[in-house]
Amino acid sequence: MTQLSIDASPWWQSATGYQIYPRSFCDTNGDGIGDIPGIIAKLDHLRDLGIGFIWLSPVYRSPMADNGYDISDYRDIAPEFGTLADFDRLVAEASARGIRIVMDLVVNHSSSDHAWFHAARASRDAPEHDYYVWRDPAPDGGPPNGHQACFGGSAWTWVPEVGQYYLGHFSPHQPDLNWQNPSLRREIYDMMNWWFDRGIAGFRMDVISLIGKDVDAGLYEEGPYLHGFLQDMHREVLEGRDSVTVGESWAVSTDTALLYCGRDRRELDMVFQFNHVVEGWDPVHGKWKPRPFDLVAFKRVLNDWQAALANDGWNSLFLSNHDLPRQVSKYGDDGAYRVKSAKMLATVMHLMKGTPFVYQGEEIGMTNAAFTRIDQFRDVETLGHYAEEIARGVSPEAFIAGANANGRDNARTPMQWTGGTNAGFTDGTPWIEVNPNHGQVNVEADRADPNGVFAHYKELIALRKSWPAMVHGTYRPVAEEDGSVFAYLRELNGVRLAVVANFKGEDTQFDVPDALRGSGRCLISNDIPRERLDGRITLKPFEAFVLSIGG
């Protein structure tokens, strides 16, 4: 890439994103639930980290069946999170610190409590009836087909008032919106423009690959109408804006990615893909029965994505979010090597080509929860699948072990600000238990440690701003079959960055491939800095470093 095209590159390519799950971030009114004033109170923490934008999980009005991914008013804020005035203040206060706000757009479905759905379920003649997906019963009176909801049970719910079933792909509380209806689409575009007018910088689009579904053909993910709708949305909302959009898709593959984010498509800027996550799931029991981590397979997925979007499109880089386990527990070691492996994972992810996303608490190496009873879980998905898996013969202990490894509540335990009561998250009773390790793992302690996880993230984010090769350099994987080491080269205009990371908690021999040979300046390391890469080297447990190597 030439200097000219780098200068013209969009802001979100060199920025780092930070995801906030508001319910678990910081509570200022003692109700045990995080809120927008709490986010404002912690903005200096994020400014110090150096992030460029916040992806805010939903703060809209909602009955919270799925913690806000079930919206009952797209133009208001949930009272437990605050008010529109609080939101405006957040945008202004964040902007004063150089941070933009990206909202979550949840428009595959609304809440069953949305006024549209109230009208829709009352009468077939209401204009809003067609805003949702209805089907007549099967000849035996049962659901139109056997489609199962993501959170358990049938995806179809009977409504006697209209004598039809509606589709809730996730749950009955989340009826699917019918994107075929032009008035519905208009409502959504107007709402998006309304938020842009309030000063937001973009949208993360929840399960966006579902909106083009053809229910009768059994096509849900990446259905036949998807890209037409996204191009329509681009024309009506995004065209000409200096915004960022990231579409979540559990179905997107390297074969389809550029249909969303290729430069000529005029749809989205990036996708959140999950191929590397699903790689670790059981084919039958899914996330509830994790497969042992396989570094070679994991690298293959990420390397393939790097190759697929090398010259067009742009990767999002993440291991964690509010639906996934804590990355240090999943891919690193949350025991003796917690700090070191958290830094190793950060180094590997931030040095790839794409925009990195940090999930709240990741910057201090927060770990998974270790619940022992099902009543400690809060997540609608975990609770929905518990019954189904037990009926399948899985023991409660085995299910809970799976949920502790991969369940969504791991990421949702409160942010650990201090070692004090409730980790400084709330003065009240937290809506979900605080991780008992907050005495050791908390923002106050970690930030006070010059060798803490926060310091490492801060350094990575700062490096990104001064090393264009880190943002725009080509990506070349090496040692792809090595089961212990993740290594690659980034290169731009003669600058070569060698990235080496040991995924094992033991000394590991690594034969330096030709492409990484050289000596130079160590940009960042979680161990004794190295200056030379050559021959066979011994990597320390979870050691990771970046070397700028001379010719």
Q: How far apart are CA 191 and CA 107, in angstroms?
A: 11
Whether the Cβ atoms of residue 389 and residue 348 lie closer than 8 Å to each other: no
Q: Is 388 a catalytic residue?
A: no
106 binds ligand NOJ (CB under 6 A): yes
- Cα angle: 13, vertex 15, 18; to 5 degrees: 120
Ramachandran region, residue 491 (left: φ > 0; alpha: ψ -120 to 50; beta: rest): beta
323 binds ligand NOJ (CB under 6 A): yes
The CB-of-329 to ligand NOJ minimum distance in angstroms stands at: 19
66 binds ligand NOJ (CB under 6 A): yes
The CB-of-248 to ligand NOJ minimum distance in angstroms stands at: 6
Catalytic residue chosen out of the listed positions 206, 323, 446, 459 = 206
Specify the residue, 108 or 303, whose C-beta has the smaller distance to ligand NOJ: 108
Q: Distance of alpha carbon 99 from its chain centroid, rounded?
A: 18
Specify the residue, 69 or 386, whose C-beta has the smaller distance to ligand NOJ: 69
Classify residue 524 as exposed, middle or buried by CB count within 10 Å of its CB (0-12, 13-18, 19+): buried
Q: Which of 12, 21, 60, 69 touches ligand NOJ (CB under 6 A)?
A: 69
Q: How far apart are CA 327 and CA 332, in angstroms?
A: 7
The CB-of-542 to ligand NOJ minimum distance in angstroms stands at: 29
The CB-of-313 to ligand NOJ minimum distance in angstroms stands at: 21
Specify the residue, 35 or 66, whose C-beta has the smaller distance to ligand NOJ: 66
Q: Residues 332-371 vs ligand NOJ: string with x where CB under 6 A?
A: ----------------------------------------
Residue 489 carries which DSSP code? E
The CB-of-322 to ligand NOJ minimum distance in angstroms stands at: 6
Specify the residue, 248 or 482, whose C-beta has the smaller distance to ligand NOJ: 248
Residues 157-186 that bind ligand NOJ (CB under 6 A): 170
Residues 234-253 that bind ligand NOJ (CB under 6 A): 248
CA distance to 50, 120, 177, per residue, from 185 (Å): 36, 16, 9
Catalytic residue chosen out of the listed positions 27, 66, 70, 248 = 248
Q: How far apart are CA 166 and CA 130, in angstroms?
A: 11
**175's tokens:** 């009826």
- Cα angle: 168, vertex 220, 206; to 5 degrees: 70
**429's tokens:** 């009773």
409 binds ligand NOJ (CB under 6 A): no
- How many residues are there in the chain? 551
Residue at shortest CB range from ligand NOJ: 69
Q: Is 248 a catalytic residue?
A: yes
Instruction: Order the strands of the 495-502 sheet from edge to edge.
Output: 474-478, 485-492, 495-502, 544-549, 518-525, 532-533
Q: Residues 293-322 vs ligand NOJ: string with x where CB under 6 A?
A: -----------------------------x
With CB under 6 A, what is the number of residues at the site for ligand NOJ? 9
Q: Distance of alpha carbon 123 from its chain centroid, rounded?
A: 38
Q: How far apart are CA 225 and CA 222, in angstroms?
A: 8
Specify the residue, 324 or 478, whose C-beta has the smaller distance to ligand NOJ: 324
Specify the residue, 207 or 533, whose C-beta has the smaller distance to ligand NOJ: 207
Q: Which of 207, 270, 319, 523 touches ligand NOJ (CB under 6 A)?
A: 207
267 binds ligand NOJ (CB under 6 A): no
The CB-of-428 to ligand NOJ minimum distance in angstroms stands at: 24
Specify the residue, 248 or 446, whose C-beta has the smaller distance to ligand NOJ: 248
Place of tokens 């070569």: 496
Output the CA torsion sign for 517, 521, 526, 528.
positive
User: What residues are annotated to the active site?
Assistant: 206, 248
Q: Which residues bind ligand NOJ (CB under 6 A)?
A: 66, 69, 106, 170, 206-207, 248, 322-323
